[in-house]
Structure 1
Amino acid sequence: MSTLAEQLQKILLNISQYYLIPIFIVGIFGNIFNGIVFSWSTLRNNRCSLYFIISSMAQFFVLIFGCLFRIIVSLTGFDLNVSSLFICKFRTYLFVNGIILSRHFLCLISIDRWMVTSTNVSIRNLSNLRMTRLLTIISTIIWLLFNIHLLIGFHIEHNSCTGNSETFYLSFFTFFSLFVSLAPLIILMIFTTLTLRNITNGRLMRRRNQAVHPAATVGVVLPTLYVVPQQRQRRLRNQKNQLLRLSMIQIIVYILPNIPNTMYTVYASITANYNKTNDQIVTDAFMNLMTSNLLYTYCAVIFFLYTLVSVTFRKECWSICRRFQKKIRTIYRGSEQL
């Protein structure tokens, strides 16, 4: 083994032991808490919350069947992937589905935010709870069924869990990987740009309306009957704006670490049939693992991203923590009485 290969393997070992373990622990906690906040708090009433919940579940699968397997290999030297054909196939199936569904629902979030911010009433009406549930169920089933090809095409070859190189499947999987890497980035960039344009246009329209109807901006004393409904509308509007901010920042944060992964996928597809030296093979493996680490990092930091940028999310987190604290106290007092 060359000096370069030894150095790269040592770097990867250190990264897996000292970086991926904290990322895994933080990511598991964060995605579980994301699911709890969006399903138990008042945020669950927002139609986009279902997308956030499923996306967190998908990221949980990515960390379990991707990051954890990498950590086990680095700590023990034992690769579960090649220990059993069953593990090879189902681990690949669940890991790839986690990646695809995470990206898919992020795309749905970006499209939903574009519809919500549109000045066209017909487009805004397309964003509703019924449509969200329908898209969630149908699209999840379609992807789970379509990706059954992973259970058929993957096997253990040369001490590695990989696509069958003796058939056309490896070529199909290469194009499939390119599609699921490039398509989400393109969709997110397009709809993020359109959403930002909608927000800008909406602000311009409000300014024009205020200029045309200045009396609407002057403080008016309203009957008490209208105060509560207006407060509720203001609270719902604030929640919608907070979710809009969350989704926009999540999309931007997703794009940045996933560009290297997409670039590597394109590079690997182009150079798949090249004759490479041992150093080139090791370097390619190093690049693959490093770009994968960026993917795991994205899956892990989402909870803290939500906490930092959203006041509403922080309040809901504290509310749930206090609720858990009360339940623990109740259980503890009950056990003392016994």
Structure 2
Amino acid sequence: MGSLTLISQQIVLYWSSITLITGVFGGIINCIVFLSLKTFRQNSCVFYLTVMSFFNIGQLLMSVFSRIMISGFDIDWTQTSLFYCKFRQMFLHLCSLMSFSCMCLATVDQFMVTSVRRRWQLFCNIKLARWLSFILTLFWILHEIPALVYSDHVVKASNKISCSNVNLIYQQYVAYVYVLLLTGIIPIIINILFGSLAYYNVRQIPYRAVPIVRRELDKQLTSMVLVQVVYNVIVVVPFIVVVILMQSTNLSRDSDTAEAFNFAYTIVGNLFYMYFVGPFYIYICTSKRFRQQFLYVICHRYYQENQQRIVIMQQIVPYL
């Protein structure tokens, strides 16, 4: 085993542990804040970000946790359970596709809600957001049926069992359509395009007759989404580049080249997973208003609820 392979295993073990803890924590806090405040619960853009947070948590728990168990403890449940082998592949694809889809919808939503055209603003409502999220989830579940069918146990030359895609055509589809287009190029183009248009619209808001509360909320959400768009480009593009290079290079001829590419794939793969980790920390760093809302929900609202429970219990205990 080469030195780069050993280094890759250590990177996966330690970096993935940090990624899992910080990502799940941030995703849970996002959901708590978004679902606790009425201002957020009635906003379609926030609804997309909330759904995205749920799928980000699912992606991290299913993928990163498995990588930690494999690299750190040599435990691979995909080798012992065919059902888990099939389900894991489908679930990971579903979480990624829904996360990227929700990010695109949030960016488009902010463009439309900040537009001067009243007709476009009418499409930004919570009811439509729920229906779109439901339809997309159902569509991507159907889209991932081949992952259930073609994922199977394969015996390698070393007599070790691995969970692999056994259909060559579907392998090409995953590499070029799923990885490069659906979770790479298409979301980046949509996010950059509509994010830029939303930024232009927000700069025009001070010259329009818009209620102050709505103006501040639109500015807050647009800044949160735009910074996340830039962040996503930084963490996703290197992964796409390395995948393209690996697909266009014959790695079977030179073991050193293959090891170097695998090492690079490990690095950019860990960077790619930061996409699922980043949202909460982006919102905290870029939005003063979100920091205040976070502190209100966590430190004030729940503190008051706990104090009320204590008072109720103190009133009940003397009668027991």
AA matched with 2:237: I
Give the match for residue 6 of structure 2: 10
2:43 pairs with 1:46: yes
Q: Residue type of the partner of 1:261?
A: F
Residue 197 of structure 1: aligned partner: 200
CA deviation string 1:126-157 (max 9, x = no partner): 32333222211111111111111111111222
Q: Which has the larger radius of gyration?
A: 1
Q: Does 1:240 align with 2:245?
A: no
Offset of 1:266 from its aligned partner? 2.1
TM superposition shift of 1:311: 2.2
Letter in 2 for 1:185: I
Residue of structure 1 equivalent to 2:126: 129
More displaced stretch, 178-187 vs 102-111: 178-187
Q: Does structure 1 residue 56 correspond to structure 2 residue 53?
A: yes
Q: Does 1:104 align with 2:101?
A: yes
Structure 2: gaps spanning 5 or more residues: none
**Deviation sequence 1:166-191 (CA, Å, 0-9, x none):** x4322232232222122111222222
- 1:185 matched to 2:188? The reply is yes
Are residue 174 (structure 1) and residue 180 (structure 2) matched?
Answer: no
Distance 1:171 1:11 in 2: 29
Deviation at residue 274 of structure 1 after TM alignment: 5.5
1:313 Cα deviation after fit: 1.5
Q: Does 1:268 align with 2:268?
A: no
Deviation at 1:256, TM superposition (A): 0.9
Q: Residue 233 of structure 2: which of 255, 258, 278 is its match? A: 255
Q: Give the corresponding residue for 1:297.
A: 274
Q: Does 1:33 align with 2:29?
A: yes
Question: What corresponds to 2:163 in structure 1?
Answer: 161
Q: Is the 8 A contact 1:185 1:255 kept in 2?
A: yes
C-alpha deviation, 1:282, in angstroms: 2.4
Between the aligned residues of both structures, percent identity stands at: 26
Whole-angstrom CA distance in 2 between matches of 1:199 and 1:325: 36
How far apart are 1:332 and its partner, in Å? Answer: 4.4
Q: 1:78 to 1:144 in 2, by over 3 A?
A: same
Are the equivalent residues in 2 in contact too, given 1:62–1:98 (CA < 8 A)? yes
Q: Contact 2:15 / 2:270 at 8 angstroms: preserved in 1?
A: no
Separation in 2 of the partners of 1:290 and 1:128? 40
SS at match of 2:252: coil
C-alpha offsets along residues 184-226 of structure 1, whole Å, 9 cap, x if unaligned? 11222222233233345x26x92xx8xxxxxx9xxxxxxxxxx
Mapped partners of 2:247, 2:114: distance in 1: 38
Q: Tell me the distance in 1 between the aligned counterparts of 2:172 and 2:21.
A: 36
Is this contact kept in 2: 1:39–1:49, CA < 8 A?
no
* C-alpha contact 1:154 1:164 (8 A) present in aligned 2: yes
Q: Say if 2:251 and 2:257, in contact at 8 Å, map to a contact too.
A: no
**1:236 positional shift:** 3.0
- Alpha-carbon distance in 2 for matches of 1:189, 1:237: 22
Higher mean C-alpha displacement, 129-138 vs 54-63: 129-138
Query: Could you tell me how far apart the structure 1 residues matched to 2:253 and 2:35 are?
Result: 50
Task: Specify every segment of 5 or more residues in structure 1 that has no aligned partner in the other structure, as ranges.
Answer: 210-215, 217-229
1:276 partner SS: coil
Letter in 2 for 1:257: V
Do the aligned residues in 2 keep the contact of 1:65 with 1:91 (CA within 8 Å)?
yes
The aligned counterpart of 1:79 is: 76
Task: Verify the 8 A CA contact 1:26 1:300 in the aligned structure 2.
Answer: yes
In 2, the alpha carbon distance for the partners of 1:284 and 1:67 equals 20
What is the match of residue 278 of structure 1?
A: 255
Write the deviation string for residues 72-126 of structure 1: whole angstroms up to 9, x where unpaired.
1121022222222111111111111111111111111111122122233333333
CA distance in 1, matches of 2:57, 2:68: 15
Alignment-mate amino acid for residue 15 of structure 2 = Y
Distance in 2 separating the partners of 1:320 and 1:29 = 15
SS of 1:119's equivalent in the other structure is: coil
Aligned partner letter, 2:236: N
Contact 2:235–2:272 under 8 Å retained in 1: yes
Contact 1:62 / 1:296 at 8 angstroms: preserved in 2?
Answer: no
TM-score, normalised on structure 2?
0.87
Superposition pairs for residues 309-324 of structure 1, below 5 Å? 309-321=286-298, 322-324=300-302
TM-score (norm 1): 0.83
Does structure 1 retain, via aligned residues, the 8 Å contact 2:34–2:41?
A: yes
Q: 92, 110, 113: which one pairs with 1:116? A: 113
Q: Which residue of 2 aligns with 1:225?
A: none
1:66 is matched with 63
Q: Quick one: which amino acid aligns to residue 173 of structure 1?
A: V
- AA paired with 1:287? A
